[in-house]
Structure 1
Amino acid sequence: MQAVTILTVPGLGSSGPAHWQTRWEQHYGCRRVEQRDWQHPVCADWLAALDAAVSAAPGPVVLVAHSLACATVAHWAATATRPLAGALLVGPADVDRRAQLPEVRGFAPMPLARLPFPSIVVASENDEYVSLARATEFAAAWGSRLVNVGALGHLNSESELGLWPQGWALVQELAAGFATTGVG
């Protein structure tokens, strides 16, 4: 069985040096899905970049998305042709909220179709970009397992998660599930 490729998919503004995604890239060798414009996202552009990265990745893929990138993955899943080993969807920004940043409105409405691959939604009880109730709705609609990590904010650099071993264990769970079943 080929090794699983882990692609990090940052949200609006990308992930800075203190973000757990960046640290995973440095420590574990994950690959980042790069976007042409991190500050002014265009949904179609972000979908194309994600599709290109998944298509170019060797072997089975686990996506590790944060914030706006969770909406990107949900949109991409509707037309994706390559199966995934799984996706970890962390702090999915609620793109449907009226008070949400104008930069993310192009990703609304949030797709609520069941994802065609195993997935885990990680949510915090005090995330400013998605309520726990809404994250729970996303998880149910996507067929994802929900993991409530308590009051850790938006699960970004300000959350000071470091290498975030709890999150990495969830990625390993998705990768191991694929290795066991061979089905994404």
Structure 2
Amino acid sequence: METQATVLIVPGLRDHVEEHWQTHLESRLQRVCSVPPLTENRLDCDARIENIQRQIERIRGDIILVAHSAGCLMVAHWAARYTREIKGALLAAPPDMQADWPPQYPTPDTLREQGWEPLPQQPLPFPSILAASTNDYLASFTAAERMAATWGSKLVNLGAVGHLNPASGYGPWPMADVFIEELDSCLTPCCL
């Protein structure tokens, strides 16, 4: 798939997972790069935001952010701190910091201690699509609706797709292409 903008993939806390839809997407796009995993301070929100900024500084021209899970929260924090123009963002399956997460994930309390809250409560300064599941174990659809309203994102109900990760049956996720094309075709911030 060819885009006019460079797609910057922002993974969640597990970083790069071989069978994840973001990894498949990265292998198919021509104009793409990914935020690399941190080797230290992996749960530190500030370190994650600075890592995104380092990648953005390397990109010339338009950028579309493609975030999954905690990567969505990272994008919101980044947008509250930096002013680089972004063409748009796909925010897939953002987690709810108020939910009880399964034991294989860091707890929301652990993330709070690492600076993840308070979450930015203002609209993102660029078009965004928030794609949410009706049976995500990290966030209810109601929580996703709240995040979309807060960030000014177009909300898309994906149905019962779990957390949209390999454990939920997603390797490839063709709908990501549709959303990226929609963002790539935006000429103004109001196009969504």
Runs of 5+ in structure 1 lacking a partner?
none
> 1:38 Cα shift?
8.2
Q: Secondary structure at the match of 2:142?
A: helix
Query: Residue 134 and residue 110 in structure 1: after superposition, are their counterparts in 2 closer, same or farther (change >3 A)?
Result: same
> 1:183 Cα shift?
8.4
Greater Cα shift, 127-136 or 154-163: 154-163
Q: How many residues align?
A: 180
**Matches of 2:14 and 2:44 in 1, distance apart?**
13
**Matches of 2:180 and 2:172 in 1, distance apart?**
13
Greater Cα shift, 120-129 or 35-44: 35-44
**Matches of 1:170 and 1:154 in 2, distance apart?**
17
Q: Secondary structure at the match of 1:92?
A: coil
- 1:130 correspondence with 2:139: yes
Q: Which runs of 4+ in 1 moved over 6 A?
A: none
Question: Which residue matches 1:80?
Answer: 82
Higher helix fraction: Structure 1 or Structure 2?
1
Greater Cα shift, 109-118 or 128-137: 109-118
Query: Residue 182 and residue 131 in structure 1: after superposition, are their counterparts in 2 closer, same or farther (change >3 A)?
Result: closer
Query: Residue 125 and residue 48 in structure 1: after superposition, are their counterparts in 2 closer, same or farther (change >3 A)?
Result: same
**Matches of 1:62 and 1:9 in 2, distance apart?**
10
Does the Cα contact within 8 Å between 1:14 and 1:38 map onto a contact in 2? no
Q: TM-score, normalised by structure 2?
A: 0.86
**Matches of 1:104 and 1:68 in 2, distance apart?**
10
Question: Which residue matches 1:48?
Answer: 50
Runs of 5+ in structure 2 lacking a partner?
none
Does the Cα contact within 8 Å between 2:88 and 2:127 map onto a contact in 1? yes
- 1:7 correspondence with 2:14: no
Q: Secondary structure at the match of 1:65?
A: strand
Does the Cα contact within 8 Å between 2:122 and 2:151 map onto a contact in 1? yes
Identity %: 39
**Matches of 1:149 and 1:96 in 2, distance apart?**
21
Q: Deviations over 1:38-72 (max 9, x none)?
A: 88310000000111111111211000000011111
Q: 1:121 aligns with which of 130, 147, 165?
A: 130
**Matches of 2:73 and 2:188 in 1, distance apart?**
27
Q: TM-score, normalised by structure 1?
A: 0.90
Does the Cα contact within 8 Å between 2:165 and 2:171 map onto a contact in 1? no
